[in-house]
């Protein structure tokens, strides 16, 4: 390659260097279990949360299952073995917050969320978003509870739902992602400490966006949260999750499970803006993000859409999926995944068509920079009885520089001949022509790259709720920010 | 405004411009003609500050300052605009969004506040009318799926929005039908002013019927080999470039 182009690539490399602004540590006294995992630890977690008996049984069964399962070994990601005895499975701030009043919340916690741009005082919040803030293993605050309960919406930490609505939790927990589903789902079922629970009753359109904000603070602590969202017949909810963690040299494990259930005519929109600490330039530290997310469209005309913008984590392994059980049900997956430095992302979706006349859409945008490796792995499965299933998949990759990679693995399993599946894939680079064109119009190199990248992601961003689309754009900008010139 | 002296430029170590001199004053319109591959686009690119174009000798002064010190975006903010011979597509970025960012970037550079949404809309509607561009084009992605002529028109819209001091138009007339040529010329003429200079690169004297230049130059073999007034363009149209090449050899 010519020297001029090499120079250009160097510039691009400098450009994608970033600082992780959420990398601070909150100095707060916490009560953390000593590292290690055995039945006793699980009993202690359950006892600490004063859980009903069925929950303890559920956990123990999952744990025994997990012990017999082999740790998965994935083709496109590469990391040192995790020592599960070296992780603490429970941590909570010492000063236990009462959830109804902010006065009891440790000011340091409030400050933490303020710094992250998520004020927990309702008057300061985005007027139309209710937030559940999860700090390490526990939920510290859920806002707008009253407004929501007037509409009949249940939005609370799952630990509390187990106290207040045990029958609902019991009815649905593990029905979409059973403990034996995979290694990390089993581990999560055994040790999960908190997460959000949402129930939207029949015919109710949730009056505001619901959102959970996850923060890992404690060192060597794994975060295993569990989210369960049920939209009853004809209900609608839009739910958002955001995640960050301090900058630490050790890797931290995040193994969450999210289950969505959409009954007849119900719609669930689930959006994620994930910005876990990605590790430094040399790949030191960062979060291992192994997540199982799945939704089931149980009834006719149910609809589930996953939208995700992922810029963080050292390793991301996740495939938000939709099981299209009901006739005429709809599944959607919109994803932007950015990897740079030594980040690795193996992400994609599974659309399982079972009902008749079901349709799914997959739009995946992968951006790789530095040594980042981005893999899209998608499965579209059409079972025997799924007459007239339709799928459209589009996977686009954008490369910044020439040491990163993009890989696309679309799998299709079709057992019904009436299926109509379409797949498109492109790989492109930001061209020098595009950069010069925008710079010639007066935009800095950084702004030009950001504009091109945002344009590339547009089809996904427009699926996000307004405020979060702006957030996601900013996040991408920050991720691409660096020493230019 | 622009003073170029003995300019030598290499692209990938190949010398393209070899001792070019050119002076452009505020209010003037210069036309540059010349055979394919003679270095016309190279000249525009080097003035606009494109990477990979190395000035090996000579100088470019703009408003009394050494232009080579500035990055491409700084030059743009200082009032240099290049209408591209081949406008570039930016998928997913609307014309409006790009222009708004460009205007605000320029304003920020000059320590001014951002343009208000209302003012911006008013401005862009007015300028779109000037180049007879339909509103729907403003919402479409920059140049994506535009026809050749539409792309050129879009360049003039951008020029009108950014109100440059020095506009370089690289073959903006190529690929335009007669009506479009008139529209684009109208757009350009509307922007002619005593404090704005323009350099038009063209192969066709036809454009110069609509935009009458003060000077016409012939660029060949990396140098300006002949300069004159509008009549030079007519002469070229009649005789081609051969006679000038001969003249160069003799002199
Ligand atoms: N990026 C480049 N790589 C290699 N050669 C180049 C590059 N840019 C320009 N050149 C060469 O420099 C010479 C001048 O090119 P330039 O584009 O400036 O010509 P031009 O006068 O604009 O021609 P045209 O009338 O065809 O537009 C040509 O021989 C061209 O091949
Ligand atoms: Mg040219």
Element of type H or E holding A294: strand A286-297
Which of A9, A439, A442, A455 would best serve as a mutation to test chain B binding (most B beta carbons within 10 A)? A442
CB–CB contact A452 B105 (8 Å) = no
Q: Give residue A17's pLDDT.
A: 45
Mind listing the pLDDT tens digit for each residue in A179-223?
999 999 999 999 998 788 999 999 999 988 887 776 655 555 567
Q: Model ipTM?
A: 0.95
Q: Give residue A13's pLDDT.
A: 44
| pLDDT band, residue A95 (cuts 50/70/90) | low
A450 pLDDT above the threshold of 80: yes
Q: Give residue A157's pLDDT.
A: 85
Residue A365 lies in a domain: yes
Mean pLDDT (chain A, rounded): 79
Q: Give residue B240's pLDDT.
A: 83
Residue A6 lies in a domain: no
Give the count of alpha carbons within 13 A of A346, CB side only: 14
Range among A10-19, A395-404, B123-132 with highest mean pLDDT value? B123-132
Residue A311 lies in a domain: yes
Residue A110 lies in a domain: yes
CB–CB contact B98 A451 (8 Å) = yes
Single out the residue of A227, A228, A226, A234 nearest to residue A201, CA to CA.
A234
Mean pLDDT, residues A38-63:
93
Mind listing the pLDDT tens digit for each residue in A245-254?
555 555 667 7
Q: Give residue A10's pLDDT.
A: 46
- B54 C-alpha to ligand 1 centroid (Å): 14
| Bridge partner list, A154 | A199
Q: Give residue A82's pLDDT.
A: 77
Q: Give residue A373's pLDDT.
A: 77
- Residue A323 belongs to domain spanning: 11-480
Tell me whether A6 touches chain B (CB under 8 Å): no
* Number of domains making up chain A: 1
| Residue nearest to ligand 1 atom 19, measured at CA | B37
Mind listing the pLDDT tens digit for each residue in A212-230?
776 655 555 567 889 999 9
Q: Give residue B5's pLDDT.
A: 97
Residue A304 lies in a domain: yes
| pLDDT band, residue A267 (cuts 50/70/90) | very high
A115 pLDDT above the threshold of 60: no
| Bridge partner list, A345 | A316, A374
CB–CB contact B88 A437 (8 Å) = yes
Q: Which of A442, A451, A459 sits opposite B76 (nearest CB)?
A: A442
What is the nearest CA distance from A321 to chain B, expressed in angstroms? 27
CB–CB contact B84 A455 (8 Å) = no
Residue A337 lies in a domain: yes
**Residue A306 phi/psi, 5° resolution?**
-100, 130
Return the percentage of chain A with pLDDT > 90, whole number: 40
Q: Give residue A242's pLDDT.
A: 73
Q: Give residue B145's pLDDT.
A: 93
Asked whether A169 and A116 are in contact (CB, 8 A), the reply is no
> What single string gives the DSSP state of each residue in chain B?
-EEEEEEEEEETTEEEEEEEEEEE-TT-EEEEE--TTSSHHHHHHHHHT-TTEEEEEEEEEETTEEGGGS-HHHHHHTTEEEE-SSPPPEEEEEHHHHHHHHHHHHHHHTTPPPPPHHHHHHHHHHHHHHTT--THHHHSEETTT--HHHHHHHHHHHHHHH--SEEEEESTTTT--HHHHHHHHHHHHHH--TT-EEEEE-S-HHHHHHS--SEEEEEETTEEEEEE-HHHHHHHHHH-SHHHHHHHHH-
A392 pLDDT above the threshold of 90: yes
A405 pLDDT above the threshold of 90: no
**CB burial readout B138-173, b (16+ within 10 A) else e:** bebbbbbebeebbbbbbbbbbbbbbbbbbbbbbbbb
CA–CA separation, A302 vs B120, rounded Å?
A: 42
Tell me whether A181 touches chain B (CB under 8 Å): no
Mind listing the pLDDT tens digit for each residue in A20-46?
555 555 555 566 777 888 999 999 989
Q: Give residue A478's pLDDT.
A: 65
More confident residue, A154 or A218: A154
Q: Which of B72, B76, B92 sits opposite A458 (nearest CB)?
A: B92
Nearest listed ligand to the Cα of residue B13: 1
| Bridge partner list, A411 | A379
Q: Give residue A348's pLDDT.
A: 87
Quickly count: other Cβ atoms within 10 Å of residue B41's Cβ: 19
Run means of pLDDT, 10 residues per run, chain B, 251 residues? 97 94 96 94 97 95 94 97 96 94 96 94 94 90 93 95 96 90 90 95 92 95 93 87 61 36
**Token representation of residue A390:** 């339709």
Tell me whether A427 touches chain B (CB under 8 Å): no
What is the nearest CA distance from B170 to chain A, expressed in angstroms? 13
Residue A150 lies in a domain: yes
CB–CB contact A7 B51 (8 Å) = yes
Q: Give residue B99's pLDDT.
A: 96
Asked whether A463 and A445 are in contact (CB, 8 A), the reply is no
Asked whether A181 and A169 are in contact (CB, 8 A), the reply is no
The B residues from 72 to 91 touching A (CB cutoff 8 Å) are 72-73, 76-77, 81-82, 84, 87-91
Residue A2 lies in a domain: no
Tell me whether B146 touches chain A (CB under 8 Å): no
Asked whether A256 and A291 are in contact (CB, 8 A), the reply is yes
Mean pLDDT, residues A324-341:
91
Mind listing the pLDDT tens digit for each residue in A270-281?
988 777 666 666
């Amino acid at each position: 390659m010519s020297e001029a182009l090499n120079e250009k690539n160097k510039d691009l490399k400098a450009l994608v260097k970033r600082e992780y602004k959420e990398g601070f540590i909150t100095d707060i006294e916490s009560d953390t279990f000593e590292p290690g995992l055995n039945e006793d630890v699980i009993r202690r977690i359950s006892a600490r949360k004063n859980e009903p008996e069925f929950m303890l049984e559920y956990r123990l069964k999952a744990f025994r299952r997990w012990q017999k399962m082999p740790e998965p070994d994935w083709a496109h990601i590469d990391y040192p073995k995790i020592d599960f005895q070296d992780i603490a499975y429970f941590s909570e701030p010492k000063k236990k917050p009462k959830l109804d009043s902010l006065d009891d919340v440790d000011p340091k916690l409030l400050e933490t969320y303020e710094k992250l741009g998520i004020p927990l005082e309702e008057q300061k919040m985005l007027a139309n978003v209710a937030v559940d803030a999860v700090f390490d293993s526990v939920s510290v605050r859920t806002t707008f509870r009253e407004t929501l309960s007037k509409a009949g919406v249940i939005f609370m930490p799952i630990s509390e739902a187990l106290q207040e609505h045990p029958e609902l939790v019991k009815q649905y927990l593990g029905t979409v992602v059973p403990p034996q589903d995979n290694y990390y789902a089993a581990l999560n079922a055994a040790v999960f400490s908190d997460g959000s629970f949402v129930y939207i009753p029949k015919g109710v359109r949730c009056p505001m966006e619901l959102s959970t904000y996850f923060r890992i603070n404690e060192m060597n602590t794994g975060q295993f949260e569990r989210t369960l969202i049920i939209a009853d017949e004809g209900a609608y909810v839009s739910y958002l999750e955001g995640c960050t963690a301090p900058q630490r040299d050790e890797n931290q494990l995040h193994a969450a499970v999210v289950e969505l259930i959409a009954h007849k005519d119900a719609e669930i929109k689930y959006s994620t803006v994930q910005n876990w600490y990605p590790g430094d330039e040399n790949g030191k530290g960062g979060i291992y993000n192994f997540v199982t997310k799945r939704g089931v469209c149980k009834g006719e005309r149910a609809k589930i859409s996953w939208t995700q913008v992922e810029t963080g984590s050292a390793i991301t392994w996740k495939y938000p999926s939709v099981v299209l059980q009901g006739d005429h049900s709809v599944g959607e997956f919109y994803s932007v995944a950015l990897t740079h430095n030594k980040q690795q992302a193996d992400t994609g979706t599974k659309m399982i068509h079972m009902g008749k006349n079901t349709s799914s859409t997959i739009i995946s945008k992968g951006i790789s920079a530095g040594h980042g490796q981005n893999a899209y792995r998608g499965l579209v499965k059409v079972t025997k009885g799924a007459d007239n299933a339709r799928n459209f998949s589009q996977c686009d990759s954008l490369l910044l520089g020439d040491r990163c990679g993009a890989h696309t693995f679309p799998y299709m399993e079709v057992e019904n001949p009436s299926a109509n599946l379409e797949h498109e894939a492109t790989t492109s680079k930001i061209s020098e022509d595009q950069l010069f064109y925008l710079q010639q119009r007066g935009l800095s190199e950084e702004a030009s790259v950001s504009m091109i990248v945002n344009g590339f992601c547009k089809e996904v961003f427009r699926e996000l709720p307004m405020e979060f689309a702006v957030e996601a754009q900013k996040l991408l900008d920050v991720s691409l920010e660096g020493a230019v010139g | 405004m622009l003073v170029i002296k003995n300019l030598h430029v290499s692209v990938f170590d190949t010398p393209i411009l070899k001792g070019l001199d050119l002076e452009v004053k505020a209010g003037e319109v210069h036309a540059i003609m010349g055979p394919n591959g003679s270095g016309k686009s190279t000249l525009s690119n080097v003035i606009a500050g494109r990477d990979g174009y190395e000035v090996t000798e000579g100088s470019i002064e703009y408003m009394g300052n050494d232009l080579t010190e500035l990055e491409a975006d700084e030059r743009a903010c200082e009032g240099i605009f290049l209408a591209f011979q081949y406008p570039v597509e930016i998928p997913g970025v609307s014309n409006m969004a790009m222009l708004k960012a460009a205007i605000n970037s320029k304003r920020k550079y000059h320590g001014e506040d951002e343009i208000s949404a209302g003012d911006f809309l008013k401005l862009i509607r007015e300028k779109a009318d000037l180049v007879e561009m339909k509103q729907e084009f403003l919402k479409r992605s920059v140049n994506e799926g535009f026809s050749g002529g539409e792309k050129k028109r879009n360049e003039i819209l951008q020029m009108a929005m950014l109100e440059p001091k020095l506009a370089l138009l690289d073959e903006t007339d190529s690929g335009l039908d007669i009506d479009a040529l008139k529209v684009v010329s109208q757009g350009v003429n509307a922007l002619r002013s005593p404090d704005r200079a323009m350099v038009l690169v063209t192969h066709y004297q036809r454009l110069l019927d609509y935009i009458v230049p003060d000077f016409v130059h012939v660029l060949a073999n990396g140098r300006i080999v002949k300069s004159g007034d509008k009549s030079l363009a007519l002469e070229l149209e009649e005789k081609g470039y051969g006679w000038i090449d001969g003249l160069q050899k003799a002199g």
